[in-house]
Structure 1
């Protein structure tokens, strides 16, 4: 008898070994505990891989599901091993979170699958001791012993505490490794190379029962749990073009009317599921001849699943699992009820602008032509959300959509989307899943993490959001990081997919275009900032640069290689605003210098666009570097303008109580605060047409983020300066050299406008502080006006010489 199927793990991976052997020992006496420990062993193993393999990037959020769904890991593991890891995690979740009862035989199967996963893990990463070859699974160690039965529960608790401690140690080790020097990075790369260069794996991961276990589990999650031999399983169909004249379908899924809804052809795991495509098609022919209705076709190898409704001449497509009886019934009903999308006219009250109707027409042509994905690139403020609200309405009227999902990366954007659907399409009964997870409706809005958690969640009635639940998924602010981090969402649902982004067309990365099956640089439709301004749907900006010597030094985005630009764009430049040429101390000295902040605020209050006949500065957003910086700016404003009572300018940052209430107040014309000092709260997704001034008081080194921030001021606002006098421009006050950094702007390169914003930005509209012989602080009550010279303003003005302030 083998001492343990996992003995080879102990020298290199003691924590993984401990969890796996505990699962092995408890499988026959405490099956639910064994399943939980098996899942823990997979989680620890994958955690080690993400910490040490240079080919893997740790996911933003921890957890087994996040790691298992990582596309890079799936490539390294291979399809079969990946599916086994996913199977173990599914059973673990059912045992741990849903109170599901697991029989000892089920636990044995879980441990057997764990053996395959950890064989791959040890073979790939072990250095002291590789697993034996061949490494056949031995069920003997699973035999329950009397002494284990007596103290099983006590050992579960003890082991869990030990595993939690070792997990903490692993996290500490991961943090330590993340901070090591280039030598360690080279060693990690060497590990990845050794893994890539190893000989082909001769181990056979296939077990015939695995396919059936996995298919049965996914079918049960879709509500197909009570399957009977001879009708649901191994159902005889005829005629078939073979010698016998009949065949046996692996699965037939029946409707309440007694007619077939779907036929499932299952192939061995080592075979391509497409090998069953023709066989499944012939079974569908026979079922149609026998029962008068053609079923939907599924073909699968247990790990990879394809759906094909050939009656509608729609090509096969891959999905995450199987559909419910209701969803299959809706698919079959569309064969007769669905209408061409181009036949549906968009409602002008929802999206009636010419570029919106053009975008909807192009999506309709795209979808009617057989494609199921579309990407809209539209400048901030041009009504992307209203455009897709109109699209949902069109697809519902065409009979193509019953339920739609709108995904965004911020809670505030989810709230806005929900309000937009409620206002323009009230019959959709929109549900905000962030605040109302059990809610039901026809349109659901959610953040990506919330939806990932809801997909993973299931109860005894099945999985709530199965692969067929949504007919349309809309992705707001679509970009590469979302696909890399949350790609599993889009692979799970069998739906039309529409992406929205305000990123300039030439800045949309190639991976995003590939995600939507498009050629780079060619979205389904494009409407840029320059065109929107020329068409008078957005307002232009008046750029005022307040340059300093230190901000002008350093690297330019346009001087970087494409790879460096990708890495640069993916960095988070919020808290420290770090650049390699400037230390954190220099930045903090500059940003937190009272003299500098006072003069910037004075310039804003003197030269910012005003309302109420010039009596008050218009709505203004100041983009601060971090929370402390925002508070410092607010304090300096209150010190300089005490008559405003501390309510005119407010910092709005994450973690502050009732921050959203301040955003709501700022969004109301005429209501305080009139100056919002933001740290990442108002950078994107906030629609306040009254905004007239933006102050960039921080470094921004993502071109996408920069133009999203600029978009906070581009929206039209009628009657802002009185009846019949609308907003015609807004002002940007740039303290940190962002305007110069992004001097080349692809979005502003369309030839439709005679003189581009880039030309105005660089050639004619670049301004400096007009501080010569001007009064800069008349706002300080009880103090005389102070007349300053250019150098005393603390700004490095071109064309002037003299002493500069030391803190620059």
Structure 2
């Protein structure tokens, strides 16, 4: 490029190229040919076109008629104030020219790096930033339309709410209000299982049918969710005529052929969209990896750069809907999203502050998990914690032990005898150390402790999903599940992208509907979005640092399911009222952050980073990236490797990593600059001057080629030591915080229902002799407690008290005993100091009553005592004895009411009333 050109001329060179790329012919005024032959629409941009207020930098012509102007500025000029200038040119006349409209509707302001656009036909027209110029074909179509898209948004009819939940109505209303206000971005929070995709399909149909939206891009988190979304479109019954969505409009998954003109909805992952825009070939498994998983692994905040692609121009879509707005959407893929001149709508169950910020704080509807539980759209959950020695503390393999050593890549094993003790931490499990018995111990605790305590009435193992650390870990878990439960291959299967798309989707379908497949093990393939309603257990055997990703993973268990559908896959399940989150690694206790990414050069290898530093690279990105890599490497080292590196370097590797990272810390550098230069506001030059010697000192170890080679050798080490020693179960039980929450909810239930529930009133407000409950009242009480918003079973309240107030809780009753609620309310309200199973209370009081009868001179025959014991048992089980009960077992087998009257005569009713009052008191 000619360096002698003025800045304005340099900008115009780039603008010319961008116009040409978009299909415009760029001409000088003297060489004007408004009908120059060019394939497609005759779109011509004339430089320095005269107007009554002076020459405009470019005037745009389509089919020989003027339609818009471009005002070009040198780089660095703020374009915000230039719109008035381009607007003035748009209403100025140009001699002898034909115009599409008296006032030209399209205005652009541009530098070589920035473009702003406005269509003055829009309601309350305002400029917006665009990635590139629009094609002339597009502007011609817009000119031929009676109204602009933004104007058509105001013509949307009232929403037909039939078949929609309140949260879906709120969501659609919020989106449409945002569109009418011309808000470029909007975020929708909807709890998992509340019908986000159905809401999106409903919204897309309304926009396509009534606002004539041209094309919509529907972005999904993973490939299999795209195929799942396509089925939703295919099954959607449109409200206008009952026909399916796909009978009105074409819905396609983005492929190598790009975006067809006839396609209304294009479904894609962000990875595949980037591949199509940039021409970069997509890895086979890239489509199947969750953005949450990618961001955890790479911690990359370097956006994927895109260039203009005339095959997929910026106006290819009117609307972009992003299903699951994880961090990588506004870090890794931000420029891909912002490429299109389209409204952006985000859907998520778990918005973070950064997500809300990306969507301009325009949160148009909120439907949280808590609201969904109250509405019976979601179910709540209990946390069951399993701790083993190896999981919590790691372990020690003593010197002289013969161990198996496995190559991580080839899986080949060899035997070695350790020449010194080898300690390993819990973070090294399933990385440098494999401990098969750790997996076995966790799964045995799940089988023998968790299932009997959480699903005591079941013989079928509830549908269970296990989250593994990686594909190899998943394989080992699958083997151990089959062994621990003594079941075959059909009982437990792996679902990861490594098994292949078709096989994985077939297994997902089987897991959703087959009674045989009880346990599935995954890494990330069904960690987000996938709908498996019968799930009742989630086992975390991997930790997760991202709060949003953790919430997504939990969301797999929240979906409700009707009883008939649940019975088809789990025959002995009464209903799905909650799910159990089994925490085997402390995932519920670890810090969850949306921290700033430290990895600045994800595409540069560790070996290359060290070489760059040795050559003299002192950029902050390089130092910070290497420091981050070394922190991770240190976590995988055993004590022998760690000591060897410390001796070679002269200090621990963790310290070297810390010095690299600290050397790039802006706050630290500013503080040092303040001290060195004696100023409260150091300049950038002063901070740079401070940075150089600190960086030089931090990178000093990497001038030594032996250090670089040894780190690379250790980093590539693929051996995994197999620790076959036994693991120890340290604890298995409900989470303390969850127990506190259950008790709080139970007490809130009592407080909320004092006046309404007669059963409660009968317990603590009636005189002693009248404290009497009916079975129906207890049953109604139990149903109310287990319903939203409380969602707690009486036995879970009992277990919570047992965990937190052990000394005051005497025993654990059968979970099915409805009369447990009598004891619980008496204890929770302070009427009783001890919580004990109701049958035991009845037994003790019956013995006391019998002794009182004896002291008062009343004697019972052996036959009468036998029947009194039967009456006692009836009261213990049902909290009352009625005359009608004599017609049922076990009384009818002994002669029923007739025999009772023979034994007790006219005193029978008095005996029953007395026992009801005394035993339940």
**CA positional deviation for 1:512:** 2.3
Give the aligned partner of residue 631 of structure 1.
Answer: 475
Deviation (angstroms), 1:606: 4.4
- Give the Å deviation of 1:679: 1.4
2:134 corresponding residue in structure 1: 323
- Residue by residue over 1:8-28, the C-alpha shift from the partner in whole angstroms, topping out at 9 and shown as x without a partner, is xxxxxxxxxxxxxxxxxxxxx
Matches within 5 A, 1:469-618: 469-503=316-350, 505=351, 508-509=352-353, 511-518=354-361, 523-548=363-388, 582-585=426-429, 588=433, 592-593=437-438, 595-600=440-445, 602-603=447-448, 606-607=451-452, 614=458, 616-618=460-462
Q: Counterpart in 2 of 1:690?
A: 534
- Distance in 2 (alpha carbons) for counterparts of 1:677 and 1:446: 26
1:446 equivalent among 247, 254, 268: 268
Contact 2:249 2:264 in 1 (8 A): yes
Matches within 5 A, 1:257-336: 258-274=64-80, 276-286=82-92, 291=99, 293=101, 294-312=104-122, 313-332=124-143, 333=145, 335=147
Q: Distance in 1 between matches of 2:146 and 2:233?
A: 24
Q: Aligned match of 1:354 in 159, 166, 183? A: 166
Find 1:219's aligned residue among 19, 22, 25: 19
Contact in 2 for aligned 1:608/1:618 (Cα 8 Å): no
Residue number in structure 2 paired with 1:87: none
- Higher mean Cα deviation, 289-298 or 380-389? 289-298
Q: Is the Cα contact below 8 Å between 2:388 and 2:441 reproduced in 1?
A: no
Q: C-alpha displacement at 1:334, in angstroms? A: 5.9
2:524 is matched with 680
SS in 2 for 1:223: coil
**For the pair shown, which has the larger CA radius of gyration, 1 or 2?**
2
Against the structure 1 CA distance between its residues 263 and 607, is the aligned structure 2 distance closer, same or farther, given a 3 Å change threshold?
Answer: farther
d(CA) in 1 for partners of 2:393, 2:439: 23
Change (3 A) 1:206 1:590: farther
Q: Please tell me whether residue 739 in structure 1 is matched to residue 579 in structure 2.
A: no
- CA distance change for structure 1 residues 403 and 479 in 2, over 3 Å: closer, same or farther? same
Q: Deviations over 1:265-294 (max 9, x none)?
A: 222335333454223212221369952513
Please give the alpha-carbon distance, in whole angstroms, between the structure 2 residues aligned to 1:595 and 1:303: 59
1:130 is aligned to none
Q: Call closer, same or farther: CA 1:600–1:589 in 2, change over 3 Å.
A: farther
- RMSD over equivalenced CA pairs, Å: 4.3
- Conserved 8 A contact 2:218-2:266: yes
Instruction: Give 1:356 deviation, angstroms.
Output: 1.0
TM-fit CA distance, 1:526: 0.9
- 2:505 paired residue number: 661
Per-residue deviation, 1:764: 6.5
Q: Report the alpha carbon displacement of residue 228 of structure 1 after superposing the two structures with TM.
A: 6.3
**SS of 1:335's equivalent?**
coil
Please state whether the residue corresponding to 1:647 is helix, strand or coil.
helix
Question: Whole-Å Cα distance in 1 between the matches of residues 121 and 266 of structure 2?
Answer: 29
In structure 2, the residue matched to 1:468 is 315
Instruction: Work out which of the residue numbers 141, 148, 152 in structure 2 matches 1:339.
Output: 152
The residue number in structure 2 matching 1:391 is 203
Change (3 A) 1:704 1:234: closer
Measure how far apart 1:732 and its partner are: 2.3
Query: What SS does the corresponding residue of 1:546 show, helix, strand or coil?
Result: strand
Return the offset for 1:303: 1.9
Q: CA deviation at 1:654?
A: 3.2
Corresponding residue for residue 192 of structure 2: 380
Give, in whole Å, the separation in 2 of the partners of 1:281 and 1:677. Answer: 61
Compare 231-240 and 418-427 and name the one that shifted more.
Answer: 231-240
TM-score of the pair, normalised by structure 1: 0.58
Asked if the contact 2:388/2:442 (under 8 Å) is kept, the reply is: no
- Deviation at residue 661 of structure 1 after TM alignment: 3.5
Instruction: Name the SS of the counterpart of 2:331 in structure 1.
Output: helix
1:419 aligns with 2:211: no
Superposed displacement of residue 251, structure 1: 2.6
Checking the alignment, whether the CA contact within 8 Å between 1:474 and 1:498 is kept in structure 2 is yes
CA gap of 1:729–1:287, structure 2 versus 1, over 3 A, is farther
TM-score, normalising length: structure 2: 0.51
SS at match of 2:182: coil
Separation in 2 of the partners of 1:251 and 1:693?
64
State the alpha-carbon separation in 1 of the partners of residues 113 and 441 from structure 2.
61
Q: CA deviation at 1:703?
A: 2.1
- From 458, 477, 495, give the equivalent of 1:652: 495
Aligned residues: 528
- Which residue in the other structure is 2:565 paired with? 720
CA contact (8 A) 2:187 2:363 kept: yes
Residue among 38, 43, 57 paired with 1:250:
57
Distance 2:260 2:109 in 1: 33
Change (3 A) 1:609 1:259: farther
Question: Within 1, Cα distance between the matches of 2:222 and 2:322?
Answer: 12
1:490-549: CA deviations, max 9, x gaps? 32211111111221x5xx12x32222111xxx7221111111010111122233222346
Q: 1:487 to 1:430 in 2, by over 3 A?
A: same
Query: Structure 1 residue 707 and structure 2 residue 551: aligned?
Result: yes
SS in 2 for 1:315: coil
Q: In the TM superposition, what are the counterparts of 1:171-210 in structure 2 within 5 Å? A: 207-210=7-10
Unaligned runs of 5+ in 1: 1-108, 113-135, 138-204, 555-579, 775-808
CA distance in 2, matches of 1:722, 1:758: 20
Q: How does 1:11-26 map to 2 (within 5 A)?
A: none
Whole-angstrom CA distance in 1 between matches of 2:146 and 2:576: 47
Q: SS state of the match for residue 490, structure 2?
A: coil
Structure 2 alignment gaps of length 5 or more: 35-43, 237-244, 281-307, 395-423, 592-734, 750-788, 804-810, 813-921
